[in-house]
A and B are shown apart, each in its own frame.
Chain A
Amino acid sequence: MRGDSDGLIVIKFSDVSLIYPNSTTTVLENLNLEITEGELVLVIGPTGSGKSSLLRLINGLVPHHTGGILAGDITVDGISTRDVKPGGLAHLIGIVGQNPLNGFVADTVEEELAFAMEALNLPHETMRKRVEEVLDSISLTQLRSRSIATLSGGEQQRVAIASALVMHPKVLVLDEPTSALDPIAAEEVLSILHRLVHDLSLTIIIAEHKLERVIGFADRIIHINGDGQTMVGTAEEIMAVSNIAPPIVHLARALGLDEVALSVRHMRRMTQELRDSTPIHRVKTKPASTLPVIEIENLSLAYGTKIALNSISATIFDNEIVAIMGRNGAGKSSLLRSIAGINELEHGQVLVHGLKPKDLHRKIRRESIGYIPQEPSDLLYCQSVTKECEVADRDNELTTGTTHALLTQLVPGIALHRHPRDLSEGQRLGLALSVVLSANPKILILDEPTRGLDYEAKKTLTRILIEFASIFNRAVILATHDVELVAELATRTIFIADGDIVADGPTLDVLLSSPAFAPQVAKVMSPQPWLRVRDVLDAIGGRTQSC
């Protein structure tokens, strides 16, 4: 078992406390931690709890780059981050940021890989050799001369990892490496990391919200609470007590099992009896309404020579929650934008309540279509939460305070004087949602709403969307990579690949038909058609206690 004290210690935190100026909460308090060679450590915690700070402490970006008061000492391979600037640790630590695109310096993949080596003045021959090595080991050879701007999200992430690996670092630090990726690309990135740990005994530290993706790889977990308290332990130890947990752990708890399983294989063994003893039980779904809201007919769209959508037809009805899934670049956003009326349509038409969305403006638009873009902050432009709410009230001719009331209902406890930028991801999404919902739109469109959201925020979002769809009888359409979210809330799933609809049907059928897109509970419970912990409990009825 790794994580014991017998390995070579690579990273050592001694009595580390961190506090940012103008802040009343401590991020970390007296953290003592030793990470040994070849360990994969997962950092978890709610948004804004300081996961990124912890990662950036390792190479000294905090506090050298960000400010903040640091007590205690962090050493990496015996070098204290007090003594050297982040650049001085570049040969030891590779760091991959949340959005790798923001950190790229060169134009092409090959030059990007060479950048850090050039900065350290390595000889030409060494550079050539290392670039070739890394291109092979991360399977990037095909992409070597591609322009960085044309890479997909998964490819960017791999290039970022590769450009850290060319330095032959001892430690690799990744901040939410899979949050923007579809399940298949995420799987690719994680299997590379897994291999690096096992083949090269690289030490890897990852922060990630989507635990269902990474938990199986983690040796140890650092759980940050946000108030300075941290828990460090093996994955099993932390998962036994943590409130942040993947569905598989929630399932084990709900079933009252004595131990938590972290892999589908393990969990299947523990629930064998339960699956077999219950007859195949299909969860009943509410029949969808027959009132069409959005009619899409033969919609085609192309950017230059690249076909984004290829003659798509679909009808979306009242009170449906439709999830649009597919790989990065499959055409999800293009479809959403066409429904919202931003893109010029090449062929075909889109009608929202019989109107062309392109012709809607101002108040009529707000009342017809609510749209939350990938960056919810694009919608916000005021200096404080209060002002943002007031503007929404004025725009929609509502009595003052209506939007604010809506906001407190959706996401309670937001400080009103704060700047929208300073809110957590979840709070900002909540604010954007209440601004959009205050106009009472007939349909709601969300593009990748769960990027960077923690489980708590996702739960809130799920509740809001289900209420909006069922109470007000409105249609919700969302594009997402998050299968667990889809399983929780969508009534219908449309799967897009290369601009075509390849599957369209009830969420249950679409998700179960593809192993890569099946949620954890479904994988554990297969062949039983259950997607959520709730479905399992409903199906087995009162037998929970006896398990």
Chain B
Amino acid sequence: MKKISLHPLTWPICSIAIAISVVRLNTPLFAIVSVGVVGFIVFTQREDAPWGKSFDWSLKVALWILIIRIFIGVSIGLPIPGTTLFTLPRIPLPDWMPGIRIGGAVTLERVSSALGEGVIICAIIVIFSAAASLTSPHRLLRVLPIYVYEFGVTVVIATSVLPQLVSSVARIRMAQRLRGQQTKGFASYRRLAIPLLEESLARSLDLAAAMDSRGYGVNRKRSRYRPISWRMSDSAVVACAGIVMALS
């Protein structure tokens, strides 16, 4: 499929619109459908750039959140009457905590409501990360107004660190597997986190220094070499998302 070049703000605006519709409709089916659509767009449109891969990561994170949400939803909270699937042993709580219970009967309704809520939360995460993986953070920065200078710098650092983290993770994991370390399990995350944090910090400082010495933010006004213009295709994409939001 041909890749269309859009304004860097187009996808972020769309993702906000779709996320609002997901929340307003509050039906898992719509959430799943929008994740499907968004996923299709990402897999056909994303560039082979570091930030492109952030979508895959968000899918994994969303899956974990879903699992945790279902587990908590089923084991803790108010009982919902209905068809009992199975009964968990109930942990007795003191009298001053009425209304909360841990364990007990697991009903079909309880599972489905936990699942439904989980799906909606995950859908929102995935929708926003889709925008992140479709939008080059560098181009996004270029359309930000200059008067948000300090903020703009923060945005550059944050956006360039996150996707680069993804590629650094792969590299560090590889190195540590070669040191004969386990790359699964809790301890491995600690081993990963420290070199990763150090590296991204150093990298961000480099970037900030480079931007500073190239005169970023010196002038209140900023000229454009090749202005990024808002085109018909951008309006069309945003309009579609807007209609979805209006209908929801």
- A positions within 8 Å CB-CB of B: 56, 59, 61, 64-65, 85-91, 93, 95, 97, 99, 102-107, 110-111, 114-124, 127-128, 131, 147, 149, 163, 167, 337, 340, 342, 361-366, 369, 371, 373, 375, 377-383, 395, 421, 435-436, 439
Contact = CB atoms under 8 A, between A and B. Distances in A.
B223 A85 contact: no
**Most B Cβ at <10 Å: residue of A95, A105, A110, A395:** A105
B6 interface: no
A64 B179 CA distance: 40
A65 B214 contact: no
Contacts of A105: 138, 141, 156, 207, 210-211, 214, 216
A124 B179 contact: no
A421 B195 CA distance: 9
B208 A121 contact: no
B11 to A, nearest CB: 15
A424 B203 CA distance: 17
Contact of B213 (A93, A99, A379, A380): A93
B209 A117 contact: no
A115 to B, nearest CB: 6
B235 interface: no
A85 B226 CA distance: 27
Contact of A371 (B175, B198, B217, B222): B175
A362 B180 contact: yes
Interface in B101-146: 136, 138-139, 141-142
B176 interface: yes
A128 B211 CA distance: 21
A90 B218 contact: yes
Nearest to A114: B225
Contact of A379 (B176, B182, B212): B176
A-B pairs, top 9 by smallest CB distance, nearest first, are: A103-B210, A90-B215, A114-B225, A378-B175, A366-B180, A102-B206, A116-B214, A87-B218, A371-B178
Contacts of A107: 49, 136, 138-139
Given A99-B206, A114-B225, A377-B198, A119 B216 contact: yes
B219 A121 contact: yes
A379 B218 CA distance: 40
B191 interface: yes
Interface residues of B, number: 47
Given A120-B218, A147-B49, A149-B49, A86 B139 contact: no
B174 interface: yes
B177 interface: yes
Contact of A378 (B141, B195, B211): B195
B172 A378 contact: yes
B50 interface: yes
Q: Looking at chain A's contact residues, is the secondary structure mostly helix, strand, loop, or mixed? A: helix
Given A124-B224, A380-B195, A373 B175 contact: yes
Interface string B166-178: 0000011011111
A127 B223 contact: yes
A185 to B, nearest CB: 21
Interface of B: 49-50, 136, 138-139, 141-142, 156, 171-172, 174-182, 190-192, 194-195, 198-199, 203, 206-219, 221-226
10 contacts: A87-B218, A90-B215, A102-B207, A103-B211, A107-B139, A117-B223, A120-B215, A121-B223, A377-B198, A436-B179
Contact of B182 (A56, A117, A362): A362
Contacts, number: 161
A366 B177 CA distance: 10
A422 to B, nearest CB: 10
A509 B207 CA distance: 43
Given A102-B203, A363-B180, A371-B175, 10 more contacts: A59-B213, A120-B219, A127-B225, A147-B49, A342-B174, A362-B182, A377-B199, A378-B175, A381-B190, A381-B192
Contacts of B177: 342
A24 to B, nearest CB: 23
Contacts of B174: 337, 342, 373
A114 B218 CA distance: 15
A65 B214 CA distance: 13
A337 B171 CA distance: 12
Contact of B222 (A119, A147, A361, A369): A119
Contact of A373 (B178, B190, B213): B178
A86 B206 CA distance: 14
B209 A65 contact: yes
A116 B215 contact: yes
Contacts of B213: 59, 61, 86-87, 89-90, 93, 95
A305 to B, nearest CB: 12
Contacts of B218: 85, 87-88, 90, 119-120
Nearest to B215: A90
B18 to A, nearest CB: 25
A364 B178 CA distance: 11
Contact of A65 (B142, B212, B219, B223): B212
A439 to B, nearest CB: 7
Contact of A366 (B179, B203, B210, B215): B179
Nearest to B193: A381
A395 B180 contact: yes
B158 to A, nearest CB: 14
B166 to A, nearest CB: 13
